[in-house]
Amino acid sequence: MGDVLVLNATYEPLSVVSVKRAVVLLLKEKAELIETATAMLRAENFSLPRPLVIRLVYYVKIPRRVALPVSRRGILSRDQYTCQYCGDTPPRKDLTLDHVLPRSRGGKSTWENVTTACQKCNGRKSNRTPAEANMTLLTNPQRPRYIAIASLGNAEATQAWGKYMGD
Ligand SMILES: [Zn+2]
């Protein structure tokens, strides 16, 4: 059924939860509806518009922003399906994930160390760092802004979420 963006009491994006979890928060009056879809959710005891964005009634203090798991889908989307070495945009299935510092040399699978590469560039770079391979990255890989991941969802949700992403 998709996801719901949860805002902190301060309207800052906090988390993404399932519709089911969002409904529980709403029914327990721990959150309020901010943005809804046109579709309605109906159950025996209640009927309410499908939430897209909810806001917590009480402020939740979080030490860091919510961690987004690294995924192929996320990396390719962040890099706009473009090889970060040559700028080529082959069919998506021909794109590979490249560890900037190779895994064999301790490179981790983090947002900051994984980038999108076409097969040719990945092969050329091989087990080397970009400097060793004399290759330059078009962008420095970074943990994406929230919206990059959010945009993978449906269009209606993305639009509703966008207002709160400051992007
Ligand atoms: Zn390339």
Q: What tens digit of pLDDT does each residue of 34-66 get?
A: 999 888 888 888 888 999 999 999 887 765 555
Question: Would you state the pLDDT for residue 14?
Answer: 77
Helix, strand, coil percentages in the chain from 3-state DSSP, rounded to 5: 25, 25, 50
Cβ-in-10-Å burial (0-12, 13-18, 19+) of 69 comes to exposed
Question: Would you state the pLDDT for residue 63?
Answer: 54
Q: Compute the average pLDDT of residues 122-150.
A: 84
141 CA distance to ligand 1 middle (Å): 15
Question: Would you state the pLDDT for residue 147?
Answer: 42
Q: Please name the residues in contact with 153: beta carbons below 8 A apart, sequence gap of 6 or more.
A: 2, 3, 161
Q: Please name the residues in contact with 151: beta carbons below 8 A apart, sequence gap of 6 or more.
A: 77, 158
Counting every residue written for the chain, the total comes to 167
- Decide if 159 contacts 2 (C-beta within 8 A): no
As a whole number of angstroms, the distance between CA 80 and CA 158 comes to 17
118 CA distance to ligand 1 middle (Å): 4
Query: pTM of the entire structure?
Result: 0.54
Tokens of 163: 């207002």
145 CA distance to ligand 1 middle (Å): 24
134 CA distance to ligand 1 middle (Å): 13
As residues whose CB is below 5 A from the ion ligand 1, the structure lists: 83, 85-86, 88, 118, 121
- SS3 of residue 128 by DSSP: coil
Confidence class for position 151, pLDDT limits 50, 70, 90: very low
Identify which of 5-9, 16-20, 81-85, 160-164 has the greatest average pLDDT.
81-85
Question: Would you state the pLDDT for residue 133?
Answer: 97
